[in-house]
Structure 1
Amino acid sequence: MNLKSMLEEKLTPIAYKLATNKVLIAIRNGLALSMPLVMAGSLLMIIASFPVQQWKDWLKLTGIATYLWKGVDSSFGLVSLVAAFGIAYDFAKQHDVDGISAGIISIGSFITLTPFVQDKEQGMAGVPTKFLGASGLFVAIIIALLSTLIFIWFIKRNIQITLPDTVPPAVARSFSGIIPGIVIISAWLVLFAVLEASGLPNLHLLIQEVLGKPVSLFTNNLLGTCVVAGLNGLFWFVGVHGADTVHTFFGPTWTANIQANMDAFMAGKPLPYIVTNPFMMNFVYLGGGGATLGLVIVLAVLARRKGASKQAKALVPITFAPGIFNINEPTIFGVPIVLNFKLLIPFVVTPIVNAIITYTTMSIGLVPLTMAMATWTMPPVLSGFFVTGSIRGSILQVVLIIIDVLIYMPFVLNLEQGYKKMEMENGEVK
């Protein structure tokens, strides 16, 4: 059995099952729902911490800095709360039940299991933003999925309050969620009380120990990061969305890491994590999965040469501009990269090389660690400055792009020869 047959017969079915798994789809879509908050918080952080001391002094003097940091807490600090709703909503919709009711119950469950901060002098209680932000993501995911499964069980068995058809749908939906909502929130309340009465840590801390630490031990080191980058490339190679398949497992950890870096930055402490969401998206995957920006640059240069193949010239307009914005589906399916063994090695190896170089330069202090989130479509050089707050982040991206071009170059040259040979055989070249 050759390598191509093995990948098609062994890896493709696994990748397909993961890519179509309802739980993973719900987690992916639910986390994506919080992206506007993440971007708003990151932008406010960049404004508040722009690396010009006179600017920061002025913001502090005028009091504007206080409001900017409040904006950070009020946006990025609500990621888990939004995820609790979004995951439950999407999971319920996939099972053809009311997503809004499921999402609201999930939020209630999440808050129920989150310890309050008490102010006895003022007679007030509040929810700490620490657990509403990325630190609470693991609990948000688990609560959203389990609460929604229970909600689905009730609805599918018609254990709900049913109102006549004359009642407005919005009102009817709210009543249908009363019975499962009472049961679900009461169950989580009992769990919270048991943990507290037993002197055990709250569920957030328990989950971080049970799930968070094993995952972080794998992803917060260079070897684990390289494995994840390689698996992402292999899944893309067989035609399955690598990020949706692999990153669903590790994305919450990377998001929690960037939140921890942001918190440390605001507190004036050293940033604790190298591997974060922007580390992967803005340095490892330059141009998208497989770090294909290097590929499209080489292809664009070759297409300008005299005697270039017609296919190369046709591919440049549909691959180069999207590639600059890290959109590489046209490259993956247009070149194509899927099951094209001429490009398997650079497609898998290039992100790993990027990970090694980025991890090394950040670990020895040549480049600052990431402390903000950029949109995945933000072009390199600009995103490097945005996520690190330093021009050194941009310089690193330029160096990585040059290296990626050099890695892809011999393979793309070979690919171009294949294009020209095929065109000659078809009589397209005279």
Structure 2
Amino acid sequence: MNFVDKFIMPFANKLGSNRHLLAIRDALVGMIAITMIGSLSVLVTNLGAVPGVGKYYEKFMISIFGETWKTLGSDIWWGTLAFMTIFAVFGIANRLARSYGDDGFEAMLVSAASFFVLIPQVANVSLTPEGGEAVTGGAWGFISWNYFNSTALFTGIIVALVATEIFVRLAKVKFLIIKLPDGVPPAVSRSFAKLLPGMVTIFTVGLFGLLLRKFISDGAYLNDWLNKVLVSPLTGAVDTLAFAILIVFLVHCFWILGLHGPNILGGITTPLMTKLGQDNINMYAQGVDNLSKYHVLSGSFLDAFVYLGGSGATLGLIIAMFIAGRKRYKQLLALGTPPGIFQINEPILFGLPIVLNPIWFIPFILSPIIMTIVAYSSISLGLVHPVVADIPWVTPAIVGGLLATGGHVSGAILAAVNLVISIVIYLPFVFVTGRIDARKAEKKPLA
């Protein structure tokens, strides 16, 4: 415990309270309504691709809504997931600025403008005149949607953080603040007070983009250059079994110490897995059938197949206690089972307790690691359909596996198999704790 207090706790607290990681996490979590409705629209639109029942589903939808029934889902996807990076830039800038005591409004606008400054203004387009041959060339004013969706998410995060930092710091420089007379409306006065800091921030970002293209990236814009030198290699490293095991191990080590592991690491893991998840959703929306092109560790992978009942897969522990007939924990099970079904397990973590309880260290960490290995291997081998939809983290086990894989039964089966694995791992420890409690009761003096 002295080692933990001296070395681990300070690092965990520092990481968990970092304002930049918190801004990223809070912004992406705050976008959950956007990502959920976009993901569900993709799911509903593409259920026709599910083998066996897909054709009946499409006939049913056509009979009710007509041949154009997919239009609504496509419109919702376009208005949500297709512009995910833009929403992230606004959200991150707002959260980061507010952490410095700023109201965040001007920071949002300045960061968004800075992001647009770094987007190419010319795109290659192909036009086919009536009766003529196709003509391909550069045209001004055309912007690929890849600069707005999850493909540019890392660029958006970086630009939002840097632009907000520059803006907030310049806004504190006295000689850059324009003060208007007292009779001017407060909203106008605040805007003019931050006029020069905003202009300088946008100019600085624009100058950086110009110098980058001229001297470093060989003409490539920031997003294209980052994808080449950073995002692609990093994404490849993230979507590996080793990285999945590492994340799950660290999350549960933090929980053992009473620290909220997903929150502490969320600033790092959320943007990575969100990007991979949106890549899968986009491919699924475009009808990509080659499963090998999909990412494995993406989006709701952990919620659907590993965190069954919450971190530590404690739904398996609850079921194991019912199987063992642990009457001593009757009240705890009564309180912990309903929320546990919906992936909320704080009553079990702190009521049993699992936190700082050496008896439960091994199953609490071992269960999710084995489940991660089974889930990752099953998807990578093509036995289970990849995750192609975002699901709320409170979605019950097995149902989450079904929905996350786009309605494929293989996802539900995998979640059920992992749930059984967690029960088998927890069950011996439930019996062990029962024996320990019985021995303590035998040694207890009579009143």
Alignment partners' CA distance in 2, 1:315 and 1:202: 57
Distance 1:412 1:75, change over 3 A: same
- In the alignment, what sits opposite 2:260? 241
Q: Is the 8 A contact 1:212 1:253 kept in 2?
A: no
1:342 equivalenced with 2:359 (yes/no): yes
**CA 1:166–1:209: 2 relative to 1, 3 Å:** same
Q: Does 1:408 align with 2:426?
A: yes
1:359-386 Cα offsets, whole Å, 9 max, x none, are 1111121110111110111112221111
Letter aligned with residue 144 of structure 1: A
- State the 1:201 CA deviation: 2.0
| TM-score normalised over the length of structure 1 | 0.90
**Partners in 2 of 1:293 and 1:72 — Cα distance?**
33
**Comparing 42-51 with 55-64, which one deviates more in the overlay?**
55-64
Q: Matched residues in 1 for 2:148 and 2:44: separation?
A: 23
Which of residues 317, 328, 331 is equivalent to 1:295? 317
Alignment partner of 2:269 out of 233, 250, 257 = 250
- Structure 2: distance between partners of 1:30 and 1:424: 54
The alignment status of 1:176 with 2:193, answered yes or no, reads: yes
Q: Matched residues in 2 for 1:162 and 1:322: separation?
A: 54
> Could you tell me which residue of structure 1 aligns to residue 281 of structure 2?
262
Please report the RMSD computed on the Cα atoms of aligned residues, expressed in angstroms: 2.6
Task: Confirm or deny: 8 A CA contact 1:84 1:141 kept in the other structure.
Answer: yes
Partner residue, 1:396: 414
Alpha carbons 1:85, 1:103 under 8 Å: kept: yes
For 2:308, which of 286, 308, 332 is the aligned residue? 286
Distance 1:75 1:354 in 2: 32
Which residue among 298, 317, 321 is the counterpart of 2:338? 321
Structure 2: 5+ residue stretches without partners: 128-138
| Closer, same or farther: CA 287–165 of 1 in aligned 2, 3 Å | farther
Aligned to 1:53: 55
TM-superposed CA distance for 1:67, in Å, is: 3.5
> Is 1:379 aligned to residue 396 of structure 2?
yes
CA positional deviation for 1:412: 2.7
Per the alignment, do residues 308 and 96 of structure 1 end up closer, same or farther by CA in structure 2, a change over 3 Å counting? Answer: same
Aligned mates of 2:314, 2:14 — CA distance in 1: 26
Equivalent residue for 1:16, pick from 10, 13, 22: 13
Q: Is 1:25 aligned to 2:22, yes or no?
A: yes
Cα deviation for residue 388 of structure 1 reads 0.5
Amino acid at match of 1:151: F
Taking the aligned partners of 1:102 and 1:294, their CA distance within structure 2 comes to: 46
Say whether the 8 Å CA contact 1:163–1:172 is kept in structure 2. yes
Q: Distance in 2 between matches of 1:63 and 1:109?
A: 39
Q: State the alpha-carbon separation in 2 of the partners of residues 39 and 117 from structure 1.
A: 32
- Indicate if the aligned counterparts of 1:48 and 1:56 stay in contact, CA closer than 8 A: no
Max Rg structure: 2
Mapped contact 1:374–1:383 kept (Cα < 8 A): yes
Partner Cα distance (2:14, 2:141) in 1: 45
- Between the two proteins, the alignment pairs up a number of residues equal to 421
SS at match of 2:141: strand
Q: CA deviation at 1:82?
A: 1.3
Cα–Cα, structure 1 residues 295 and 150, in superposed 2: closer, same or farther, change >3 Å?
same
Is 2:241 aligned against 1:222? yes
Pairing of 1:127-146 with structure 2 (within 5 A): 127-146=143-162
Alpha carbons of 1:21 and 1:426: their partners in 2 closer, same or farther (altered >3 Å)?
Answer: farther
Distance 2:337 2:318 in 1: 6
Cα offsets for 1:178-214 (capped at 9, x unmatched): 2121111122222333344564322112222343234
* Deviation larger for 381-390 or 244-253: 244-253
Q: For 2:102, which of 94, 97, 100 is the aligned residue?
A: 97
Query: TM-score of the superposition, structure 2-length normalised?
Result: 0.86
- 2:118·2:206 contact (CA, 8 Å) conserved in 1? yes
1:114 counterpart SS class? coil
* Equivalence for 2:131: none
Contact 2:163 2:205 (C-alpha < 8 Å) held by counterparts: no
Which secondary structure does the structure 1 equivalent of 2:358 belong to?
coil
Aligned amino acid, residue 39 of structure 1: M
